Amino acid sequence: MLGFITRPPHRFLSLLCPGLRIPQLSVLCAQPRPRAMAISSSSCELPLVAVCQVTSTPDKQQNFKTCAELVREAARLGACLAFLPEAFDFIARDPAETLHLSEPLGGKLLEEYTQLARECGLWLSLGGFHERGQDWEQTQKIYNCHVLLNSKGAVVATYRKTHLCDVEIPGQGPMCESNSTMPGPSLESPVSTPAGKIGLAVCYDMRFPELSLALAQAGAEILTYPSAFGSVTGPAHWEPVSS
C-alpha cells in the first residue's frame, strides 16, 4: 500500500517502506505513520522513506521552497530519507539558461539543502543537480549529478550521469543533453543508508541494464532512477522500462 500526501498543483509526496523484495528489484510498500518509529523486540518496523515529486521552473528559490515544504512534511511523518527528482533545482527554458543557472557543489543552493537535511534530521537524495564541475572553465559544460546527503548535511556520495539522453523526438526535433552536459566518468559504489544500500543512477541510465546489474552485484538493495522525463519521452522510456 502507498500512503500519498497531495499538495497544490505540481507538488506530490508519497511515503514508502522498502520491504518485500523480488529478484533484483525492490517492492515498495507503505502506509502513513507517525514521526516516531519505535522498533520493539516483538515487531520490527520497516524504515519509512518519502518520494517527493515536483514540477521545477527556472526559479531556483521557488523550487527550493517547494522541495523544502515536502521534505519537512516527510520528516514530520517520520521518514528517514527523502528522494527528490532529477532537475529538482531548476528546469530552464533553453540550454543557455541551463548553463547560466548551474552552480558548483560548493555553491549557495546545495548549502541550503545541506542545512535542510540537518534541520530535518533525515537523508536527502538530490536526484539530478546541474553541477559546474572542476572542468567548467575548460569545457563550459555541466554534469547531471545525483547527490546523496546524510542527516548531518554531509555529502556522502555523488554520481554523475553516464548515459546522456540524445534522442530524436517526433514532432519536436532532437533533444541533445550532450550539447550542455558532460557524461560522468564512473559509477558510484552503493551507499549504506537507514533505508538500505542504495545504488545511484539518473533517468536515461534506466535504458542500460549493465549499470543496474553492476550496482546489484556490488550489493545495492535499492536502485534509484530519479527522472524528469517529458510527455513524449516518459511513455517511450519510463513507462515500458519501469513496468
Catalytic residues: 86, 161, 203
Label the pairing between strands 222-224 and 81-86. unpaired
Distance CA 189, CA 148 (A): 12
Q: Copy the grid coordinates of residue 5.
A: 500526501
User: Which residue pairs from 181-187 have beta carbons closer than 8 angstroms and sit at least 24 positions apart in sequence?
Assistant: 181/141, 181/142, 181/143, 181/144, 182/133, 182/135, 182/139, 182/141, 182/142, 182/143, 184/143, 184/144, 184/145, 184/159, 184/160, 185/160, 186/162, 187/159, 187/162, 187/211, 187/214, 187/215
CA neighbor of 126 nearest in space, from 108, 135, 114, 141: 114
